[in-house]
Amino acid sequence: MNHRLNLPRPIQILSVLAVAALFAGCKTAPRPGTFAPRKGDEIVVAGQFVHTGTRVVLWMDPGGYDAYRVERRFSPIEKSDWETSQAEVRGLSSPNRYNMRNRDLSREEVERVRGGGWDLPLLQRVVDQFVLHFDVCGTSRQCFKVLQDGRALSVHFMLDLDGTIYQTLDLKERAWHATSSNSRSVGIEIANMGAYPVNGRNPFADWYAKDSSGRTRITIPAQYGDGGIRTKDFVGHPARPEPVTGVLQGKELIQYDFTPQQYQALIKLTATLSKAFPQIKCDYPKDATGQLIRQKLPDAELKSYQGVLGHFHIQTDKVDPGPAFQWDYVIGGARKLLHGGLSGMADETSKGHMRAR
């Protein structure tokens, strides 16, 4: 049976085109006042939302951390303005804690992107490193307080104990977290108290304890309240119960591992960034035998390196993300996601160490 209307051929074609245009119109021109849906797992890359499959709180979201502001976030509000902040805090030397990526840009391109006018292809050309830090603050709220209110530093992402990712700036911005790599990198501060000489002092007694069943748990010191952790009544446990030792920059260090929630979120973010920025290879710096390089990369190697790396690969005076960090677990997990495709990931949603200018 023929379902086609008995119309002359040109009119049939026209009516097909009209229906197609109607559908296209629905897609590209929503009714004024329609709210664009958000899933709560998006990061912002040159003004575009990109899904990660894990919880992300943006700087413009309620409870977010906004590194575009010039005020201090946690001072008394009547003293938070830039002029008072500048007078009260020696470390605050500039109202903006970020500036413009300027790597390999022509004068024309500089003129185009000054003030923020990046497009994705240009940003993809400039960004080729993802730098991992531990924050030595213990929580993302405390980390933002140190960066924004005390140090005039910044970082694109903070990863809290419960696996919540906070984005503080669009990735088009040059955040101040990793000196010579700032113009080419995306940075993340992972909440963790950091690594210390094996026989030296450390703050572990204040931050870790055994619970009644003998399990190691994170104990946020009372002075930080609930730590600003987004997950209500969250109790964090390091992925391994005992502190981990290892050599970085030629020094033997000890550190508690990150939480399983942090690893899961970081795996998804790493896969996302590697996909969004083709020059960020899903790999870490390895020697000829395939082992993690455990000190700063020689300058020429650092210059040509494209991928995920630690702050310690960039500066000799840094050891983050520390000896406990599980490189193979993160990179392997991210590769699995990339290999299996990122589609469907979004549906899983809802579950003082820097001198960097």
Among 51, 72, 97, 133, binds Zn ion (CB under 5 A): 133
Q: Which is nearer to Zn ion, 311 or 313 (CB)?
A: 311
Cα 88 to Cα 76: distance, rounded to the nearest angstrom: 12
Only one residue has tokens 């204040």, namely: 206
- Burial zone of 331 (CB within 10 Å; 0-12 exposed, 13-18 middle, 19+ buried): buried
In whole angstroms, the minimum distance from the beta carbon of 309 to Zn ion comes to 11
The verdict on 135 binding Zn ion (CB under 5 A) reads no
Residues 6+ apart with CB under 8 A from 336: none
In whole angstroms, the minimum distance from the beta carbon of 213 to Zn ion comes to 34
Q: Which is nearer to Zn ion, 133 or 172 (CB)?
A: 133
The verdict on 311 binding Zn ion (CB under 5 A) reads yes
The verdict on 162 binding Zn ion (CB under 5 A) reads no
In whole angstroms, the minimum distance from the beta carbon of 318 to Zn ion comes to 5
Among 57, 270, 320, 324, binds Zn ion (CB under 5 A): 320
Q: Which is nearer to Zn ion, 51 or 311 (CB)?
A: 311
Helix (H) or strand (E) holding 309: strand 307-310
How distant, in Å, are the alpha carbons of 146, 157, 182, 262, 275 from that of 188? 15, 4, 12, 12, 17
In whole angstroms, the minimum distance from the beta carbon of 353 to Zn ion comes to 5
In whole angstroms, the minimum distance from the beta carbon of 224 to Zn ion comes to 20
* CB neighbour burial string for 7-27, b if at least 16 within 10 angstroms, e if fewer: eeeeeeeeeeeeeeeeeeeee
- Kindly indicate which of the ranges 51-59, 112-120, 165-173, 307-315 contains the residues binding Zn ion, using the contact rule CB under 5 A: 307-315
The verdict on 313 binding Zn ion (CB under 5 A) reads no
State the alpha helices, DSSP H only, in 172-278: 204-207, 260-276
What is the binding site for Zn ion (CB under 5 A)?
133, 311, 320
